[in-house]
Structure 1
């Protein structure tokens, strides 16, 4: 049965509207009835008690803000009458409790069909990479993409050129502006899909970027670390790297970073070409084509084989969040996180600006003081860097977040953190460090969707769970990004980008645990080769983080 409102934690003093509530609507929760004093839009919050100026506002059992002015019982919380506020935390004072792992007996013997690598890792996909070490090579990367993708059957984007041709023909036939605007062009669409000569290779990915030179030397080192994370990734069969030769991001730097991530030795095909040594563009491109084609022939020899679920590394991400994200999609993903940890897999929770206000909980869940202190140190350094340029974590919520009920960063963070479930924090990683331990890992990244997703995959995620309440098409070049809707209206409105709907929790049709188990079933299918929406659309977003302030 669907309720009108929800109270997330017993200590909360606000309710979440699950549907639009007109003024004067009586709502009841746990025997307490409140009447709305103004219209409360779905996803927004109403006061459960009178709030005087300065009074704390609690959601998810934590402080998420304070009243700027008096808010009546049943009144709407807004950016005008409420401001961001969080509790302080102490990394030296941990209150660890024994974790109660969920029952995973039904999953214990499940497997997925993955690509087994020599180092023991298992990929959910099998891609070939073409990478520039510096932005100067982006044009040559584009030339290679034009030469390879269509001819080898890897073009994924629908072609709209026939629609342009149809419009041109209408204009030449003397049609008016009004007639052209009224024309249905769907019949002109052609989806040009060729047969792939390399059926065991999922695609060729081209990681263009704007880094590699200029800036500071640390930027080049960080970029090389990220690129090494992609080259050594279990979803990657091999790579072609283009270097100009004189840039900050030297080939030796990249090779050092690859070696750091390959304790058992790196044995994938890797072709590195330096333009200033080879000479002409034609020489460079021709050699790159031959080597890449030979690499694809090698990569095509690999086939999917059964692998235990412990070989999965799941990235947790949210973007375009709304007021339902923290009570449907995120906690459902949190249950998946706990299931994966109990099965011996790895999980990555990132987006440090969106952990603001829940630091003490994560400190308390850290497996030892050193882990807690590293998390605290990275959080404080990140926050201080934002303040130093006149910003702060409080400026994180986007206009879309605010419009749909997330009116303070602490409120957004408290819901976002639920993606991490309740398991112990086994490691804290600084960007772009790799995951080396099973369990819940915290990774320092921005809240920016693409920067954070790019980082999680670079650290080893071979599947990413991406929750959204507003609709975000983000994908990744090498890892499937599963889009999880927080509400049913979004899933119906944008079915072309949504893979899983957890609006069923809001609708009263499913529990959080049931939704989480349904997501895990879907992950197993995706890890075995079922395509997600972002892959079907050719959505391959890749944005390295330069370690500047990005919220």
Structure 2
């Protein structure tokens, strides 16, 4: 790495700027001078040779775009002179081999987790309150208001705004200017109520807008997802609220839990409002049953577990031009380490595998898995095209602004989260992870829909890489936020847990940062480090309705 610019693969005709360059700046490329025709900001790409109209652009060794106008050597690429283009894909090619990394230093290492029936191990211990239909959301919120603070599960004091300070100032005669000068944040020294159940990390309330209306398949998939959350190793049990007449019926959820074997055989209280005497009594019963469930959940304590009991979700969002150079490859190295340790890792976000499908197909452990992956990708792409969109429309304005010009370019970097290990299984949305190794899970690229799906399939940890910054978290799974660059890690320190920036500056290698990240994950899994998303109470939960979502 030159620490000024980078060529990611010998076949690439695009170079990445690692710092800002003025127009006219000369750099040395393989012993030859290259004059930059435009000002190039860090994270953006420029050509190392002249390109004609229609000529293909390569980065990471794969096709990422096509020139729509002539681009001179040293020319900046942007949405005005480049369009999305991606490599086609076909049958699985045999001969893929993998050399796993050395994991001798982690062999025999353990984390402290919650052991569940069926052998799964949780990294946390939660009780769930779940509505089967959106009609019950208000009742869920009423239960939350009644229980959360009194049981000591409110947000930490230093994350809460104290509106009473503003009210007191207003009643004392303060005008608008005086109000705007006040600091309403609670101070960390204020006392947090003691938890009534010290071994229970919290009660989580999963409100959503599904369960009725739409198509019946959406209600069935919702029940599969909710079954994934109830059977999750981070969950002790659940209180389920049903209106009674909705599409997502209690027996559908029960059948989905039954399919999950011992993992689905947990304490679950089912309450139906249309069979109750009144809303007040319905809510009171739900509170009572939830309290009883918490008493049971509090009996479970942490105990040593092997690292093979980890299931790590691999997620990215708010990506920038450095994400595919630092944070994603660092996470990919951790994935390879865990796969070598017989753990499970899960790569999702299928729209962000556009252009690297053939690589994933070739890495599949069997032709049947390769065929399943191809079928899921084609069905997803066809559904997007049918509504006048497509994977080419995936990059967000923030992605483009920070150097991710095409979806294939974004995907080539996003796929680095999956490391280089073989694909052990391919899963459709809400299918549970069962096989050790790297798994591919069909989810949207939408951050919250994807993390919701990763948790529903059984991930007990998630690492979320970001270059622009995002607060995304999950109700039941610790989400470790990794910055692609040190500027972001410093500027948004309240939401970032780990900095991959030293890879960009050349201070550390991808392997060195990956090993440091794995050590942090062991701390998180043991409950010794609380992630920023956990501290902020960032409990994002959006089920995918299987419509087109990029």
Q: Which TM bucket (shorter chain)?
A: over 0.9
CA contact (8 A) 1:163 1:188 kept: no
Alignment correspondent of 2:204: 205
Offset at residue 87 of structure 1 (A): 1.1
Report Cα offsets for 1:393-431 as digits up to 9, x if no partner.
000000000000001000000000000001111111011
Offset at residue 94 of structure 1 (A): 1.2
CA contact (8 A) 1:114 1:527 kept: yes
Q: Report the Cα distance in structure 2 between the residues aligned to 1:162 and 1:251, rounded to whole angstroms.
A: 39
Q: Report the Cα distance in structure 2 between the residues aligned to 1:127 and 1:79, rounded to whole angstroms.
A: 46
For residues 70 and 370 of structure 1, do their structure 2 counterparts lie closer, same or farther at Cα, with a shift above 3 Å needed? Answer: same
Alignment correspondent of 1:412: 410
CA contact (8 A) 1:127 1:237 kept: yes
Alignment correspondent of 2:192: 193
Alignment correspondent of 1:279: 277
SS at match of 1:495: coil
Offset at residue 229 of structure 1 (A): 0.1
Matches within 5 A, 1:4-15: 4-15=4-15
Q: Does 1:100 align with 2:99?
A: yes
Q: Report the Cα distance in structure 2 between the residues aligned to 1:180 and 1:77, rounded to whole angstroms.
A: 48
Offset at residue 187 of structure 1 (A): 7.0
TM norm structure 1: 0.97
Alignment correspondent of 2:258: 259
Correspondent of 1:402 among 400, 403, 418:
400
Q: Does 1:321 align with 2:319?
A: yes
Correspondent of 1:288 among 256, 264, 286:
286
Q: Report the Cα distance in structure 1 between the residues aligned to 2:175 and 2:263, rounded to whole angstroms.
A: 66
Q: Report the Cα distance in structure 2 between the residues aligned to 1:272 and 1:493, rounded to whole angstroms.
A: 45
Matches within 5 A, 1:508-527: 508-527=506-525
CA contact (8 A) 2:210 2:222 kept: yes
Q: Does 1:331 align with 2:329?
A: yes
For residues 274 and 520 of structure 1, do their structure 2 counterparts lie closer, same or farther at Cα, with a shift above 3 Å needed? Answer: same
Alignment correspondent of 1:75: 75
Q: Report the Cα distance in structure 1 between the residues aligned to 2:116 and 2:263, rounded to whole angstroms.
A: 12
Q: Report the Cα distance in structure 1 between the residues aligned to 2:183 and 2:158, rounded to whole angstroms.
A: 16
Alignment correspondent of 1:452: 450
For residues 66 and 252 of structure 1, do their structure 2 counterparts lie closer, same or farther at Cα, with a shift above 3 Å needed? Answer: same
Alignment correspondent of 1:167: 166
Q: Report the Cα distance in structure 1 between the residues aligned to 2:152 and 2:263, rounded to whole angstroms.
A: 33
Alignment correspondent of 2:434: 436
Alignment correspondent of 1:468: 466
Q: Report the Cα distance in structure 1 between the residues aligned to 2:179 and 2:128, rounded to whole angstroms.
A: 42
TM norm structure 2: 0.97
Alignment correspondent of 2:136: 137
SS at match of 1:153: coil
Offset at residue 165 of structure 1 (A): 3.1
CA contact (8 A) 2:156 2:192 kept: no
CA contact (8 A) 2:326 2:504 kept: yes
Alignment correspondent of 1:52: 52
Alignment correspondent of 2:359: 361
CA contact (8 A) 1:353 1:393 kept: yes
Q: Report the Cα distance in structure 2 between the residues aligned to 1:323 and 1:43, rounded to whole angstroms.
A: 4
SS at match of 1:549: coil
For residues 330 and 224 of structure 1, do their structure 2 counterparts lie closer, same or farther at Cα, with a shift above 3 Å needed? Answer: same
Q: Report the Cα distance in structure 2 between the residues aligned to 1:241 and 1:265, rounded to whole angstroms.
A: 17
Alignment correspondent of 2:546: 547
CA contact (8 A) 1:152 1:197 kept: yes
Q: Report the Cα distance in structure 2 between the residues aligned to 1:188 and 1:417, rounded to whole angstroms.
A: 41
CA contact (8 A) 2:116 2:263 kept: no
CA contact (8 A) 2:14 2:48 kept: yes
Alignment correspondent of 1:351: 349
**Count of residues paired in the alignment:** 549
For residues 450 and 169 of structure 1, do their structure 2 counterparts lie closer, same or farther at Cα, with a shift above 3 Å needed? Answer: same
SS at match of 2:342: coil
Q: Report the Cα distance in structure 1 between the residues aligned to 2:148 and 2:186, rounded to whole angstroms.
A: 25
Offset at residue 177 of structure 1 (A): 3.4
Alignment correspondent of 1:376: 374
CA contact (8 A) 1:235 1:462 kept: yes
Q: Report the Cα distance in structure 2 between the residues aligned to 1:354 and 1:303, rounded to whole angstroms.
A: 39
Q: Does 1:3 align with 2:3?
A: yes
- Where structure 2 has 5 or more consecutive residues not aligned to the other structure, the ranges are none
Matches within 5 A, 1:196-275: 196-262=195-261, 264=262, 266-275=264-273
Q: Report the Cα distance in structure 1 between the residues aligned to 2:456 and 2:237, rounded to whole angstroms.
A: 15
- Where structure 1 has 5 or more consecutive residues not aligned to the other structure, the ranges are none
For residues 110 and 159 of structure 1, do their structure 2 counterparts lie closer, same or farther at Cα, with a shift above 3 Å needed? Answer: closer
Alignment correspondent of 1:483: 481
Report Cα offsets for 1:75-109 as digits up to 9, x if no partner.
1110001000011110x241432211111000111
Report Cα offsets for 1:138-161 as digits up to 9, x if no partner.
111011101110000001155888
Q: Report the Cα distance in structure 2 between the residues aligned to 1:265 and 1:123, rounded to whole angstroms.
A: 11
Report Cα offsets for 1:168-188 as digits up to 9, x if no partner.
444444444334333444577
Indicate the RMSD between aligned Cα atoms, in angstroms: 1.6
Alignment correspondent of 2:26: 26
SS at match of 1:16: strand
For residues 162 and 259 of structure 1, do their structure 2 counterparts lie closer, same or farther at Cα, with a shift above 3 Å needed? Answer: closer
